[in-house]
Structure 1
């Protein structure tokens, strides 16, 4: 399966995608992680996109495509986290996959009210060691004695309230055409993201046709908690 995880900033895309990737043994490609890796490595692409991320602006499509496509495994099962973000990116992804005889299997759209999203960024923390995203209340970073993630756990620059407002405005402008693209093909599934992470994951598993009990036995509670 070739899955997409779509949704506004702070809705929990990374949390859900990482959980599903571990439970279902899928390959996880996070646009945000790829962009941050380029920035931290000081690559030419990284320097080019850094200004956009600092201002909370969407990175131009052509730059995102250059970073994302090399990470796709044509023969594997993967979940794209936060990509595509625009209709143009979706069309480019369709063309890229069609060239190797593939297509998107399902697009999952996580949804939550803006007021909920604004509240979530206050507690969101990013691990500089692993790139995992946590939330102090809903999905707190592991304790040192658990030896799961050494951190440090910091606030990202794009979690600034003003930057977040610009990101959210850009999302609302783009999501209509993007969702319509996949809805017209019968590929879009809307998921209520305003719930506890494990409940959202169970809804996604049901939407994908997986047995949530079997997934739970493989570590759903541990992954989401």
Structure 2
């Protein structure tokens, strides 16, 4: 679309009276003026309005375009800083071009077991960091690290297949019952869903649907 922002047709405003994209525009402008600053989702919500959980969704396009950088700090909390201007798609293409590069070793049986147990509940980059910490501990700091492509290969092998009954509500209820019985469902919190939404680029409506489905009996966590 060739029209500029000022010439674009009027769009619906959110309940706060701000146009869609306002938070992202203000955040990008803030980092342009303060390139060394780092903000959490809470900081962004406090500065520019909106809910903390909505900050991730509002900034998704800015992160994809390279205007804003999103990463985890030492405590595992997502933080935002000035982007390097390189679109995420270009970075992924660079990663794809190096798929043939292998680490110093293949995943051990213990590491494969760890991946199988936690890959569905932990962001992929965080899991990869843990595995590389183990690798460096075993082989030294100079060891070539595991790659995201290697991790994805294992995840693809161990990922559970769809329920035999399909993807209808009845099948989903059976799957949730099994997860509850095994104690898996109890580990799913509002924060886990927010982090999942960031990693997989879910929109606000999808996040709300997930919380309604998985946290229906824990209203205080939604």
Flag whether TM exceeds 0.5 (same fold).
no
Q: Which protein has the larger Cα radius of gyration, Structure 1 or Structure 2?
A: 2
User: Normalised by the shorter chain, which TM-score bucket?
Assistant: under 0.3
Task: Compare relative contact order (CA 8 Å, sep 6+) and give the higher one, 1 or 2.
Answer: 1
